[in-house]
């Protein structure tokens, strides 16, 4: 199932979400301008390589130039191709604006980065001996999905399901879509542990770890913010309240 859009309204402009998307696109444009040997080094130096943190012998052999912990941040802005980038940014576009709306832009940025850090740590824990660099915003975006699960469980998600060459569109509650998504990450991650390698080149446990971090941290980052329920937002009274609040700030 591929998400197309949701029906949860927002109160303001999601500046942080736009900024994160713009940064990811800008970094990717720099990536594709690099010669392949240079790009390979960039991915290795600025991506998270689990063995780098668990095997001192491996780190001394590879001679990483002082980027050991900076990679937890930089890995979130690197992508392995157009499909990787577009898939991540599309998901962030759909779900990030609403979570940012509930938290505020500054809190959302901190929440996003912390979920990304947690995703990398969880990946290292599950694959401590891996020498494959992990890159991409999906761990942090998984945290956004976890936050959306907490804040908008009754929202409706339009998803596309391809059957052979024909796309079919369905509307399902966010709680079902995100629960299915999380189950898929855990199932695939379990296979990766059993097989001793990352299945399909995807860091499944990073996704699961980011999602769990989003579930845990979401309420903390919404603390003290005025909240309106999803049902109220969709009601005529709720829409009027949102307009009144926005115009009287």
Residues pairing with 134 in the sheet? 48
Distance (Å, whole) CA 147 – CA 17 = 14
Q: Is the pLDDT of residue 246 over 60?
A: no
Q: Are 140 and 112 in contact (CB under 8 A)?
A: yes
pLDDT of res. 198: 57
Quote the tokens at residue 147: 């936050």
**What is the architecture, at CATH level 2, of domain 2-247?**
Up-down Bundle (1.20)
pLDDT of res. 170: 87
Encode pLDDT of 110-135 as tens digits.
Answer: 999 999 999 999 999 988 888 889 99
Residues whose CB falls within 8 Å of the CB of residue 153, separated by 6 or more in sequence, listed in order: 173, 174, 175, 230
Q: Is the pLDDT of residue 215 over 90?
A: yes
Distance (Å, whole) CA 90 – CA 35 = 27
Q: Are 105 and 225 in contact (CB under 8 A)?
A: no
Q: Any idea what the Cα angle at residue 216 is, between residues 175 and 124, rounded to 5°?
A: 105
Distance (Å, whole) CA 152 – CA 173 = 9
pLDDT of res. 237: 39
pLDDT (mean) for 47-73: 80
147-169 residues labelled b (16+ CB within 10 A) or e (exposed): bbbbbbeebbbbbeeeeeeeeee
Between the alpha carbon of residue 194 and those of residues 126, 189, 190, the distances in Å are 11, 9, 6
pLDDT of res. 233: 55
State the pLDDT confidence band at 227, using cuts at 50, 70 and 90.
low
In three-state secondary structure terms, 3 is strand
Residues pairing with 173 in the sheet? 156
pLDDT of res. 244: 37
pLDDT (mean) for 196-224: 85
Q: Is the pLDDT of residue 235 over 60?
A: no
Report domain extents, the chain: 2-247
H, E, C per residue of 43-101? HHHHCECCHHHHCHHHHHHHCCCCCCCCHHHHHHHCCCCHHHHHHHHHHHHHHHHHHHH
pLDDT of res. 88: 96
Quote the tokens at residue 215: 């579930």
pLDDT of res. 82: 93
pLDDT of res. 29: 96
Encode pLDDT of 143-202 as tens digits.
Answer: 999 999 999 999 999 998 888 888 888 899 999 999 999 999 998 888 876 665 555 568
Q: Which range among 174-183, 222-231, 236-245 has the greatest average pLDDT?
A: 174-183
pLDDT of res. 248: 43
pLDDT of res. 65: 58
Encode pLDDT of 70-122 as tens digits.
Answer: 999 999 999 999 999 999 999 999 999 999 999 999 999 999 999 999 999 99
pLDDT (mean) for 18-26: 97
Quote the tokens at residue 48: 């998270």
pLDDT of res. 191: 80
Quote the tokens at residue 78: 């690197």
Report pTM. Answer: 0.87
Q: Are 169 and 158 in contact (CB under 8 A)?
A: yes
State the pLDDT confidence band at 14, using cuts at 50, 70 and 90.
very high
pLDDT of res. 239: 41
Q: Any idea what the Cα angle at residue 75 is, between residues 221 and 192, rounded to 5°?
A: 95
């Amino acid at each position: 199932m591929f998400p197309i859009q949701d029906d949860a309204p927002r109160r303001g402009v999601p500046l942080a979400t736009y900024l994160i998307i713009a940064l990811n696109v800008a970094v990717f444009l720099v990536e594709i301008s690099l010669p392949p040997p240079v790009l390979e080094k960039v991915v290795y130096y600025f991506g998270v390589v689990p063995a780098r943190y668990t095997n001192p012998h491996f780190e001394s052999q590879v001679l990483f130039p002082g980027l050991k912990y900076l990679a937890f941040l930089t890995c979130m802005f690197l992508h392995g191709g157009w499909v990787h980038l577009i898939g991540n940014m599309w998901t962030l576009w759909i779900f990030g604006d609403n979570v940012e709306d509930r938290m505020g832009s500054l809190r959302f940025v901190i929440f996003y980065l912390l979920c990304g850090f947690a995703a990398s740590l969880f990946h290292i824990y599950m694959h401590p001996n891996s020498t494959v660099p992990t890159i991409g915003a999906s761990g942090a975006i998984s945290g956004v999905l976890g936050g959306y699960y907490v804040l908008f469980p009754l929202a409706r998600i339009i998803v596309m399901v391809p059957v052979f060459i024909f796309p079919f569109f369905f509307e399902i509650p966010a709680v079902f879509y995100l629960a299915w998504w999380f189950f898929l990450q855990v199932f695939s991650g379990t296979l990766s542990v059993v097989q001793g390698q990352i299945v399909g080149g995807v860091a499944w446990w990073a996704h699961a770890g980011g999602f769990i971090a989003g579930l845990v941290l979401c309420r903390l980052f919404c603390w003290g913010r005025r909240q309106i329920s999803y049902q109220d937002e969709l009601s005529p009274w709720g829409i009027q309240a949102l307009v009144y609040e926005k115009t009287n700030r």
